[in-house]
Amino acid sequence: MKLTSEQRITLHGFNNLTKSLSFNMYDICFTKTKEEREAYIAYIDQQYNADRLTAILKSVADIIGAHVLNVAKQDYEPQGASVTMLVSEGPIETAPNESFEESPGPLPDAVVMHLSTSHITVHTYPEYHPDEGISTFRADIDVSTCGEISPLKALHYLIRSFDTDIMTMDYRVRGFTRDINGYKLFIDHEISSIQNYIPDEIKSLYHMIDVNVYQENIFHTKCKLREFDLNNYLFGYTKDTLSAEEQAEIEKSLKWEMDEIFYGKNMVFT
In a domain, residue 37? The reply is: yes
In a domain, residue 177? The reply is: yes
Domain extent at residue 74: 18-89+112-263
Catalytic residue list: 118, 123, 146
In a domain, residue 102? The reply is: no
Question: Model confidence over 224-256: pLDDT tens digits?
Answer: 999 999 999 998 889 999 999 999 999 999 999
Q: How many of the other CB atoms lie within 10 Å of CB of 52?
A: 14
In a domain, residue 252? The reply is: yes
- Split into its structural domains, the chain has a count of 1
In a domain, residue 45? The reply is: yes
In a domain, residue 159? The reply is: yes
pLDDT number for residue 79: 86
> Residue 89: pLDDT band by 50, 70, 90 thresholds?
low
pTM of the model: 0.81
List of residues 6+ apart from 18 with CB closer than 8 A: 144, 145, 146, 173, 174, 175
Angle at 227 between CA 255 and CA 136, to 5 degrees: 45
Beta bridge partners of 89: 66
Residue with the bigger pLDDT between 183 and 110: it is 183
- 12 pLDDT above the threshold of 60: no
In a domain, residue 52? The reply is: yes
Identify the CATH number of the domain in which residue 60 sits. 3.60.90.10
In a domain, residue 5? The reply is: no
